[in-house]
């Protein structure tokens, strides 16, 4: 028996109906839920996360029920199609035994606590920082080669701190943030020289103004208005209305106005391995993140350009936002991602200690995470949301910048890093490891 594609949930349930009579409930429920989610997801990263978890849960199921399960043709066929699909969904599929961590220690604010920038022009600032990052990566590459401990079975993880990419206003435009990964690719970071490197280019900040419509008389609340068809937008007596208009629910004669909630701030970690790219959005905003908790948003172009100073508000879908997320599951486009068969977790700064539980944003996923990455500004490693032996790597941009590695459960001689100054940059590279990659749960 062979599956051409991952079976739909109904097919899978039907094919395993005999096994289900003696199956262990919770493991099978997880497999069912992930197969169902697989068919609801559109991103190849999400599909990779889910199939990797199905694989683990099949192993758990086999451990509980033994050869009745592992030799069953349906289970064998599912494992085979998952291996095939994972290959299709991954641009590369290397097998790494160990990781080496390279922290780019660089301060993200000036000594007077201004946002560090090369230019008041955000575009110039972004390109200069990409250039500085490239020099830091080249330095790290030489440092790894000089260690005498490198091999193709060693994944090199280079990470810069939170807030590396932001300019004079505290935030870039969305377009500028979207051009960072292509710029780094253009500088060679997606090429063969770095096929065994995973880059985390720190985080970048993008802001956009969030507006709402309300009644000027009844108050600044979006519930004061309703949207009705605009009678003047009807092209013919029987035609459709092209537009809607806002009117006060209490009195249609009341004037309507636009108000602003503030600037929605997106703080995203930019991740690249070869042609594979991923972004993780930070959920929590800290009081030390933005001066006065405000950012400037630039609107318009040329002489129509205006700068608005707005309160920083959390991104949509985050735990702090007024707009709830469609998915609470961190594997569905959140802080859990799978590359080359390794499951990574990422918590950006405050996400490490807040969010869904006392164990941080990724606490509930600890049993699957092999490498936990924490780009931050003013944060230490406080807890260990990963498997035993998991590598926890933190790079912090406060002061002159620091980096740290904790291996969960490590005893004996303390783990230390080795630093060198990185030419053509304002910082240093600190090398940690190599450390063996633990098995995932």
Which residues form the interface with Zn ion (CB under 5 A)? 215, 217-218, 248, 250, 254
Other beta carbons less than 10 A from residue 346's beta carbon: 29
What is the C-alpha to C-alpha distance for residues 215 and 320, in angstroms, rounded to an integer? Answer: 26
Residue closer to Zn ion (CB basis): 216 or 229: 216
Backbone angles phi, psi at 17, to 5 degrees: -55, -35
Residue closer to Zn ion (CB basis): 191 or 220: 220
CA 112 distance to own-chain centroid: 30
CB of 217 to Zn ion, least distance (A): 4
C-alpha angle 347-352-354 in degrees, rounded to nearest 5: 125
CB of 235 to Zn ion, least distance (A): 30
Please tell me the chain's helix, strand, coil percentages from 3-state DSSP, rounded to the nearest 5: 30, 30, 40
> Angle between the 44-65 and 25-40 helix axes, to the nearest 10 degrees?
160
What is the C-alpha to C-alpha distance for residues 75 and 313, in angstroms, rounded to an integer? Answer: 47
Residue closer to Zn ion (CB basis): 187 or 217: 217
CB of 322 to Zn ion, least distance (A): 22
Other beta carbons less than 10 A from residue 184's beta carbon: 20
Residues in the chain: 441
Residue closer to Zn ion (CB basis): 168 or 218: 218
CB of 227 to Zn ion, least distance (A): 14
CB of 216 to Zn ion, least distance (A): 7
CB of 212 to Zn ion, least distance (A): 15
What is the C-alpha to C-alpha distance for residues 392 and 374, in angstroms, rounded to an integer? Answer: 8
For tokens 């493991």, the residue is 27
Residue closer to Zn ion (CB basis): 198 or 215: 215
CB of 257 to Zn ion, least distance (A): 11
- Which residues of 127-255 form beta strands (DSSP E)? 154-159, 197-215, 225-229, 244-248
Residue closer to Zn ion (CB basis): 84 or 254: 254
SS3 263: strand
- Helices and strands (DSSP H and E) totals, the chain: 9, 16
Closest by Cα among 202, 429, 437, 204 to 339: 437
Residue closer to Zn ion (CB basis): 91 or 220: 220
Q: Contact at 8 Å (CB) between 337 and 270? A: no
CB of 248 to Zn ion, least distance (A): 3
CB of 262 to Zn ion, least distance (A): 23
Closest by Cα among 88, 137, 47, 130 to 331: 47
What is the C-alpha to C-alpha distance for residues 296 and 166, in angstroms, rounded to an integer? Answer: 11
CB of 220 to Zn ion, least distance (A): 11
For the chain, report the end-to-end CA distance as a whole number of angstroms: 28
Cα dihedral 374, 379, 382, 383, rounded to 10, equals: -30
Residue closer to Zn ion (CB basis): 33 or 256: 256
Residue closer to Zn ion (CB basis): 217 or 420: 217
Residue closer to Zn ion (CB basis): 19 or 217: 217
CB of 255 to Zn ion, least distance (A): 8
Instruction: Write out the DSSP string of 346-408.
Output: E--GGGGTSSSSTT-TTGGGTTT-SEEEEEESS-------S-TT-EEEEEE-STT-EEEEEET
Closest by Cα among 127, 19, 34, 25 to 75: 19
Residue closer to Zn ion (CB basis): 226 or 380: 226
């Amino acid at each position: 028996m062979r599956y051409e594609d991952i079976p739909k949930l109904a097919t899978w349930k039907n094919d395993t109906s005999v096994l289900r009579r003696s199956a262990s409930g919770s493991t099978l429920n997880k497999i069912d839920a992930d197969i169902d989610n697989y068919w609801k997801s559109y991103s190849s990263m999400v599909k990779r996360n889910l199939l990797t978890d199905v694989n683990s849960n099949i192993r758990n199921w086999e451990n509980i029920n033994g050869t009745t399960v592992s030799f069953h043709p349906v289970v064998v066929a599912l494992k085979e199609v998952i291996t095939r699909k994972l290959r299709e969904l991954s641009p590369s599929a290397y097998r790494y035994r160990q990781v080496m961590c390279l922290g780019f220690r660089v301060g993200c604010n000036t000594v007077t606590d201004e946002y560090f920038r090369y230019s008041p022009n955000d575009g110039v600032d972004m390109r200069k920082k990409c250039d500085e990052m490239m020099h830091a990566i080249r330095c790290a590459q030489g440092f790894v080669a000089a260690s005498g401990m490198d091999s193709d079975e060693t994944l090199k993880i280079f990470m810069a701190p939170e807030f590396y990419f932001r300019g004079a206003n505290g935030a870039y435009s969305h377009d500028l943030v979207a051009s960072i990964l292509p710029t780094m690719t253009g500088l060679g970071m997606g090429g063969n020289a770095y096929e065994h490197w995973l880059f985390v280019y720190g985080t970048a900040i993008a802001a956009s103004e969030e507006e709402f419509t309300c009644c000027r008389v009844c108050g600044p609340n979006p519930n004061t208005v309703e949207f009705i068809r605009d009678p003047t937008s009807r092209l013919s007596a029987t035609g459709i209305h092209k537009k809607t208009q806002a009117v006060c629910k209490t009195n249609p004669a009341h004037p309507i106005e636009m108000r602003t909630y503030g600037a929605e701030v997106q703080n995203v970690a930019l991740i690249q391995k070869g042609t594979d790219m991923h972004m993780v959005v930070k959920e929590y905003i800290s009081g030390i993140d933005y001066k006065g908790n405000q950012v400037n948003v630039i609107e318009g172009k040329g002489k129509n350009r205006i700068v608005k100073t707005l309160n920083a508000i959390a991104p949509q879908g985050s735990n702090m936002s007024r707009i709830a997320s469609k998915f609470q599951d961190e594997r569905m486009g959140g802080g859990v991602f799978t590359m080359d068969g390794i499951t990574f977790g990422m918590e950006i700064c405050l996400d490490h200690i807040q969010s869904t539980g006392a164990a941080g944003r990724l606490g509930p996923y600890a049993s699957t995470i092999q490498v936990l990455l924490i780009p931050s500004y003013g944060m230490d490693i406080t807890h260990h949301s990963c498997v035993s032996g998991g590598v926890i790597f933190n790079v912090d941009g406060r002061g002159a910048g620091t980096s740290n590695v904790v291996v969960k459960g490590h005893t004996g001689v303390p783990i230390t890093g080795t630093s060198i100054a990185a030419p053509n940059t304002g910082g240093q590279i600190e090398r940690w490891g190599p450390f063996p990659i633990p098995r995932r749960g």
